[in-house]
A and B are shown apart, each in its own frame.
Chain A
Amino acid sequence: MSVLVIAEHTRGEVRDITYELITAGHALEGPLVVAAIGSDPGALDLNRAGVDEIIHVRVPQADFENDVYQQALEALIAERRPDHILVGFSVNSLGYAPAVATKLGLGFASDVFAIRREAGTTVATRAFYGSKVHAELDFPGQRAVMLMLRPTIWPAAGAASAPPSVTERNVTIAGSRARHKEFLDLPKADVDITGADFLLAIGRGIGDKENIALFERLSEKMAATLASSRPLVDAGWMPSSRQVGQSGKTVKPKVYLALGISGAVQHLAGMKASGTIIAVNKDPEAALFNAAHYGAVADLFEVARELEKLY
């Protein structure tokens, strides 16, 4: 039995999800092998507790490409025959992991946030119906299982006491049909919300584009930085530099005051590490109330108006 973890990296930096995968993999039986795919995998820091072996898979491409990772992974699976393959539930992995699972007939589940072994079977837990409901899955058929794990659930693995063994391997890539051209950074924003101590975040609950002015004023009065959930950015009402969430920024302010945000998982991922989370929402069932420290079921405009009077 063995566990194969695929490391995620962008522009030479290992992404946090990789270390979380290592922690998750450690709970499964057998040696834990971490594979780093790229043109210079040796430059990546993968010395973490729980890792038994690191495989440097050298390919011509420096940056992520679907077909490259797919072919590299298929080669590794053919060679090592792992029982469990762990990748992050991330934009990169979505581009190849399901394809590998389909081709090789693997057991497969995505956005998994809990794994356990029970009497020789693997049980994975994921959510359905917008996180209102959880389900336990298993994978009959004695095949290898590929799981895409939800970020920020498992803690990052700590440093290794002794460096794991390293294997070098080259893989010939037959062809990449979707080729990386360049990265585009976000335009330099007026504000970097990741540095703020106090964020005032607004969501769909604010209703109308006109109302943003009210919250801009409020954030100024309260000396908070204005942030936003995804829907307002999608609609073009707020700049993407202010977006908090999985496809936006991850923030850890001392205080996160959320007005009219329901608390979708993707948003939570971006702010749940905040010191104190206060949520105000008209809907008593808003998911954010589960993750928040303080909550109030109230009309956010009335609360905003009252707050403005106090500052």
Chain B
Amino acid sequence: MVWYVLVTVSTAVLFWGLTRLAFKYRLGRRRPLGLDHLPRRLARGLASVFSHDKLRTRQPVAGGAHMLIFYGFLVLFIGTVILAFQDDFAKPFLHFDFWHGSFYLTYSLFLDVFGATLIVGLAVMAVVRGGVKPPRLNYRRPAGEPGDYDRTRYVIGDWVLVAALVFLALSGFLLEALRIAERNPSFEVWSPVGWTLAQGLRGLGVSGDLAANAHHAVWWVHGVVALAFVSSIPFTKAVHIIASAANLVVRDERAGKKLPRPVPGGKPGEVGYARITDLSWQHLLSLDACTKCGRCHVACPATAAGYPLSPRDLVLDLREVAEGSLGIRATMGIPPLYEKEAPLLGNAIRPETIWSCTQCMACVQVCPVGIEHVPIINQLRRRLVEQGEMDATLQATFETINTTGNSFGEPRRKRGRWSRELPFEIKDIRQQPADLLWYVGDFASFDPRNQRVNRALAQVLQQGGADFGILHEAEKTAGCDVRRAGEEGLWTSLAEQNIATISACDFNRIFSSDPHTFHTLKNEYPELGGKWNVLHHSELLLELVEAGRLNPRKKLGYRATYHDPCMLGRYNGVYEAPRRLLEAVGVELVEMPRNRANSFCCGAGGGRIWMKELRPEGVKRPSEQRIDEAVALGGIDYFVVACPKDVTMYEDAIKTSGHQGEIKLREISELILEALDLAPDPGAGAEQEEEPK
């Protein structure tokens, strides 16, 4: 009787907690996407949960251990439910007893094995957390970020969870052992662990009535602790059991890749995230999904360079505000409490933290529970821009882009000037039709080092018989980084103008040598009506090579490493095309430890190239750290890139990191050109690169 009362109480507390959480999420904004395509979302989310794919990538030990815990817990939970069903429903009401025979034996074996895996998994986690102490589990805030609350309770919470599960598992086995020890029936050998323990107990003289009484006592202890554990789920780290799985179902697959348009007719106070209640309900849910695993913290280039940003800490800070103003803690009046209406920026979150982000998506990509740090930061940036709180240099860049259509402040007429130094004329696609529209981009149009890359690419394409044209001075910046820096209105204005310009031309496909341009044209312009087939130049070049229209005559025997640009790799999944190109020209490719989806951002994205330096003295820039990583491979001739910002950042980093002369930079088009063995760049002129001494 007492038991059923306790069960009811425990269930009630559980449901109260879950309801409170649901209410908390409901206070967030309605997100337009909501729960569309629910069957597909469920399938995808559950697949992720059951396969543990994100957990096991890059952390096989922790991922594997969690798998043991997960399946152990799941099987034990199902086993308990089956038993409860048998005892409390099937037998008394349906007079149906399946608790015997081979069913029982299989059941016993399963539960024992999975109980053991649960303990093994927990033991591994305890050793990692307590013994190995990897940097990702160090909760200390990085030097650039001031913290204001003690994180000891996080650590205590973590250990309490592990301890509770261990206790439940061990007491479960003890329970089983005592039960078996009472009469020691031989078929119980099918519960190997229990059987072994029972033999041990019997050896100690625990059997018969003693065992029965002990069993009774331990049963109650185990039961009460189990009920307490279950009812504590909404209030502790254990909430991730529900929140993480839920988040994997409701998250936005295109988070960060396709940023959301603002709600039309929004008032100034409704732009971006000002208060905690401005977060979408899904973002509020995702804050509770975080288990402080630290994967985002160690993947972030800003954190690595000592900027005042850690994605993990941002999520945790927001969670503290959510809990302290809207959540269970607020309901129960437990400090620290927060004002629901208080602005986030300038209080819980510093603007420098939000401006530190390069929007590289390493955090979103690696997060096992699908938290969307990048869109959250973007919304906070929209707020900052609306309030005019940004670097003077960023403000000046926005104004320049609005006036001249490029971030360099160069007159519009100068845009196509780089092409004049070629031995042939590039078609003006506004006047003549062409197969391909080459959207060149700011950096490639105006930066001298990148103009050389352009000319190399143009010659390669000409050689390959590609029919292409450029927009000359009608081209404006595609606005990818403007959007990522939070000036949504300016991006919209640019996109509308560019779509009109492009639509007036006659072509089949668009390509760009700038991954940022490529990304926004391909993924974000369609929403405004600009839907075309968009390629990156590496994809186009590979097409030409595979069709036999480009025949690399020379096999360049260089040893090179390739840096995956964020916007091409992580954002769009284009990893192989550049590699196959390098292979086709006979380059020996040596991969850096962080490659493909794990590539390490150069630090220029998200508009950061237009903002002031936030790095503390003595810490290397992300681009310098990356060059160190490349040089450490040993004997690398070339650092190969496929993005104009990478060209600029890494040419600079090679000099400032002290590795000048040890490694050189090449853009992929330049290597293809070299392999084609054509005449040297006519516009190279005075800008000769230094020969190794």
Chain A residues within CB distance 8 Å of chain B: 207-210, 235, 302, 305
Q: Are B612 and A208 interface neighbours, CB within 8 A?
A: yes
Other than the known A208-B613, A305-B655, what 7 A-B pairs have Cβ atoms closer than 8 Å? A207-B393, A208-B393, A208-B612, A209-B612, A210-B612, A235-B392, A302-B655
- Distance to closest chain B CB from A291 (angstroms): 22
Task: Report 10 cross-chain contacts, Cβ distance below 8 Å, ordered by A residue.
Answer: A207-B393, A208-B393, A208-B612, A208-B613, A209-B612, A210-B612, A210-B613, A235-B392, A302-B655, A305-B655
- Distance to closest chain A CB from B396 (angstroms): 10
CA A214 – CA B613 in complex, angstroms?
14
- Distance to closest chain A CB from B268 (angstroms): 27
- Distance to closest chain B CB from A238 (angstroms): 14
Contacts between the two chains (Cβ within 8 Å), count: 10
Interface residues of B in 272-324 (CB under 8 A from A): none
CA A230 – CA B613 in complex, angstroms?
22
CA A203 – CA B511 in complex, angstroms?
38
Determine chain A's interface SS by DSSP, over half rule.
Answer: helix
Interface residues of B in 203-259 (CB under 8 A from A): none
CA A302 – CA B393 in complex, angstroms?
21
- Distance to closest chain A CB from B106 (angstroms): 68
**Which residues from A are CB-within-8-Å of B655?**
302, 305
- When C-beta atoms are compared, the residue in chain B nearest to A283 turns out to be B410
Interface residues of B in 362-414 (CB under 8 A from A): 392-393
- When C-beta atoms are compared, the residue in chain B nearest to A208 turns out to be B612
**Which residues from B are CB-within-8-Å of A210?**
612-613
**Which residues from B are CB-within-8-Å of A207?**
393
**Which residues from B are CB-within-8-Å of A305?**
655
- When C-beta atoms are compared, the residue in chain B nearest to A282 turns out to be B448
- When C-beta atoms are compared, the residue in chain B nearest to A302 turns out to be B655
**Which residues from A are CB-within-8-Å of B393?**
207-208
CA A210 – CA B615 in complex, angstroms?
10
Interface residues of B in 609-632 (CB under 8 A from A): 612-613
CA A203 – CA B664 in complex, angstroms?
31
- Distance to closest chain B CB from A187 (angstroms): 24
- When C-beta atoms are compared, the residue in chain A nearest to B410 turns out to be A283
The 4 A-B pairs at the shortest CB distance, nearest first, are namely: A210-B613, A208-B612, A208-B613, A210-B612
CA A72 – CA B393 in complex, angstroms?
47
**Which residues from B are CB-within-8-Å of A235?**
392
- When C-beta atoms are compared, the residue in chain A nearest to B613 turns out to be A210
CA A207 – CA B612 in complex, angstroms?
9
- Distance to closest chain B CB from A289 (angstroms): 15
- Distance to closest chain A CB from B448 (angstroms): 8
- Distance to closest chain A CB from B503 (angstroms): 34
**Which residues from A are CB-within-8-Å of B612?**
208-210
CA A95 – CA B511 in complex, angstroms?
57
CA A75 – CA B141 in complex, angstroms?
74
- When C-beta atoms are compared, the residue in chain A nearest to B615 turns out to be A210
CA A209 – CA B393 in complex, angstroms?
10
- Distance to closest chain B CB from A166 (angstroms): 54
- Distance to closest chain A CB from B534 (angstroms): 32
- Distance to closest chain B CB from A263 (angstroms): 16
- When C-beta atoms are compared, the residue in chain B nearest to A209 turns out to be B612
Interface residues of B in 628-660 (CB under 8 A from A): 655
- Distance to closest chain A CB from B688 (angstroms): 13
- Distance to closest chain A CB from B131 (angstroms): 42
- Distance to closest chain A CB from B670 (angstroms): 19
- When C-beta atoms are compared, the residue in chain A nearest to B652 turns out to be A301
